[in-house]
A and B are shown apart, each in its own frame.
Chain A
Amino acid sequence: MVLEEKKKIEVYDTGGPRLTFSYGPQHPGTGHFRMIVTVSGDTVVDLEPDPGFVHRGEEKMAEYKTWITNIPHLERPAILDAAGMVIPYCLTVEKLIDVEIPERAKYLRTIVAELDRIASHLYWFSLYGIFLGHSTMFLWCVNDREYILDLSQSITGQRFTHAYYVPGGVRNDAPKHVPKNLVKEFKLYYSRMLGREPREDELSEDFKKYILAVVDFMDLRLDHYYQMFFNSEIFIERTKNIGVLKREDAIRLGVPGTTLRASGVKYDTRVNDPYDAYPYLKFNIPVGTRGDCYDRAMVGFQEIRESLKIIQQAVEQIPDGPIKLKQHPIVIRVPKGEAIARAEAARGEILYYIVSDGTDKPYRLRMITPSFRLLPALKHLTIGSRIADIPPIYWSLNYWPVEADR
């Protein structure tokens, strides 16, 4: 342990007997993840994470399936954010084959990836509401997320785990018209939430106008969320100055994603190592100052706004053209070699390393997910805090147990 952690415990350790209990796998506060906590009075003295309750053997399975039938099961680790799990796989395979995908496919990939990122962040906030005891946030967020999933369904065909990406492009094209009852239902919801009807030129059955109307609506709803939840006593009291992660520690422990940005490091794979249509679009990266739980939630909040901006620009700039390279069969052969590629999932940076043997199945597939790299931070932050602080700290890191176990 580092010297600071030892000092924190010496101050709070009451010297009484210690109790070890299991913060177990069936708990509304953790989900399918277990922590073995040692407590002295009300202070946490030691915490050991125990992942492995959802370990399904994805890496070994990938050696038994061909290059294209690998895609559905590789999405399942973070099922909310299926685009983020599969994009770097397609990028790596395209590096091995040595091709460049058409322009329209790049823009379509970006739009679906950003829709998945918004849906994943909204689910994160809705469960944040339940952990802190504010259940209105759960109902509002889950309800608004349904309209984003409707959009995703009209492009890809399924609500979240869509298998839309293939090495070489995407599967379907975006439609030209949206069904009538979808527009009717959205109009009703819009007028009820915002108190006014949408104008004629804002909303119609044309796909482009519908998607821009939903994006505008989401922008206005974010102000409501800020007033209701992020600016309220419940949230501020329980998250300000709790679980502070300093800049040097964040770099030394190797944490990715929102946690890194909230501690003051300006790093995002979409800007530093761009792929798809991101070099042509303009957006900012939100950075926090203090590194506590409040900053991590606010960085996530700002990221939703940036994603909405990206979707607006992409929908207006999208060119016409083919959507995939050629009609490929189920079995393709990839030349020999090894390659590494990465992308930005909703929780952070995700890496793929693939070794190919020249046959129709991969020889070795390795995926390094962002949630697995957050485990050292969990241990570092909870030591020395109180028991009631464990749920906010744990959930503010945006740790998803299925992704860490694969």
Chain B
Amino acid sequence: MTWEKLRKIIENVKRMFKNDVEEVFLEKKIAKIIVKKEKLLELARYLRDIHQFDHVKGVTGVDLSRLKEGGGPYIEVIYHVGSLDDPELNDSILNVSVKLDIDNPVVTSLYSIWPSVEYHEREVYEMLGVNFQGHPNLKRLLLPEYWMDLPPLRKDYKVPGRD
């Protein structure tokens, strides 16, 4: 039941945004929308107002530079969005993702639309080096204060114990 409703929502989104949106839909595994950087804010506002997606469960950052198929010099930032007000969408997660350049990853922050992304975006900032513009308090969260190395989750950073 839910996967059909998600499919309808993705069809609506594709109709509204035409060329700026790509979809990845594997039944029962993942439902993802890849959108271009400039249209992210508009898509988020559309999802919140019209389809009642009201909170974000988390934000993930993936460094795609060593992936063999579908990789490249990109960092992908994924927002896992859920809905509590709409009872039919209660058991589904919609993933909205953006692909950024690895040399200069900059994107607008979604704090003005969904306030629950505050701490997740801070963590992606310190672990991967992504700069969120418009975030009220972009500082270090989990790493120690004197960390001067590369951001740890990048594939260039090698853990010092094994070598």
Is any CB of A less than 8 Å from a CB of B in the complex? Answer: yes
What residues make up the interface of A, taking CB atoms closer than 8 Å to B? 51-52, 55, 57, 59-61, 64, 95-96, 251-254, 265, 267, 272-273, 336-340, 342, 349, 351, 353, 355, 357-358, 363-364, 366, 368, 372-373, 375-376, 405
Q: Could you say which residues of chain B place their CB within 8 Å of the CB of A64?
A: 159, 162
- The distance in angstroms between the C-alpha atoms of A52 and B145, with both chains bound, is 10
- The distance in angstroms between the C-alpha atoms of A337 and B153, with both chains bound, is 20
Q: Could you say which residues of chain B place their CB within 8 Å of the CB of A342?
A: 93
Is B57 an interface position by the 8 A CB rule? yes
Interface size bracket, B side: 35 or more
Q: B143 touching A357 by the CB < 8 A rule?
A: no
Q: A267 touching B68 by the CB < 8 A rule?
A: no
Q: B85 touching A251 by the CB < 8 A rule?
A: yes
Q: A339-B30, A372-B119 provided; 10 other pairs, C-beta below 8 A?
A: A55-B143, A254-B114, A273-B92, A336-B69, A340-B93, A349-B57, A353-B78, A355-B62, A364-B62, A376-B116
A interface, over-half SS: mixed
When the two chains form the complex, which single residue of B28, B80, B114, B152 contacts A351, counting CB atoms closer than 8 Å? B80
Is B112 an interface position by the 8 A CB rule? no
Q: A55 touching B58 by the CB < 8 A rule?
A: no
Q: Could you say which residues of chain A place their CB within 8 Å of the CB of B29?
A: 95-96, 337-340
Smallest CB-CB separation from A338: which chain B residue? Answer: B30
What residues make up the interface of B, taking CB atoms closer than 8 Å to A? 26, 28-30, 54-58, 60, 62-63, 66-69, 78, 80, 84-85, 90-93, 95, 114-116, 118-120, 141-144, 152-153, 159, 162
> A95-B28, A95-B29, A252-B116 are known contacts. Are A353 and B60 too (CB-CB below 8 A)?
yes
- The distance in angstroms between the C-alpha atoms of A366 and B54, with both chains bound, is 22
Q: A253 touching B115 by the CB < 8 A rule?
A: yes
Q: Could you say which residues of chain B place their CB within 8 Å of the CB of A353?
A: 60, 78, 80
> A64-B159, A265-B84, A357-B67 are known contacts. Are A253 and B116 too (CB-CB below 8 A)?
yes
